[in-house]
Amino acid sequence: MYSFIYLASQSPRRQELLKQMGVRYEMLAPNSGEDSESIETPLLHEKARAYVERVTLAKSTAALARWQKSGLAWAPILCADTTVSLPGNSEGEILGKPTDVTDAARILNMLSGKTHEVLTAVALTIDPSQQALCLVQVSRVHFAKLSPEQIAAYIASGEPFGKAGAYGIQGHGGTFIPSIEGSYSGIMGLPIFETAQLLERAQVTCT
């Protein structure tokens, strides 16, 4: 039985969701010298599900290496990654975090009036001598048709940056979404149902 876990993510949304679940956690975030950008670069013709699984397991490996150098007591390590996918898109189905204003506008114009997928992989390293267990949650998100003015105003708010697909459902971006099929928490970045399954496997207690 474990009374807490390590969270290998700096996402405030994932921290919020773990608190909602009653899970006690301590941070095991990436160091400034770690090259997380190269991990998150999609491979040529890589499909969204394969991508999000690969990135999450790579983050788990890096987090385990951090723990091994830390001298901290062992507890399961949780990692997650979220990507937005527009299947059949000619420019590639994986829509990552926008690099600048122009890129954010490009992504939002792609999503406008269409249905896309949000895939979140969550991985838990239960034993430091074994590979992490990984589950993937897939949701379908229906996006309203956006005007150029709406897109410009949303980008000016700053919310699209640092988010896969250039929007946040828990913020103003949620006003563009008439309906979803799947997991709201998964779209936020941590599917609580799948996470609870993994924590149960690891015998992590919740408050």
Query: Active-site residue numbers?
Result: 81
d(CA 194, CA 167): 23
DSSP class per residue in 62-75:
HHHHHHHHHTPPP-
* Residue 95 to residues 1, 90, 121, 148, 173, Cα–Cα distance (Å): 39, 12, 16, 19, 16
Neighbours of 53 (CB within 10 A): 18
Contact 93, 55 (CB under 8 A): no
Torsion of CA 183, 187, 188, 192, to 10 degrees: 30
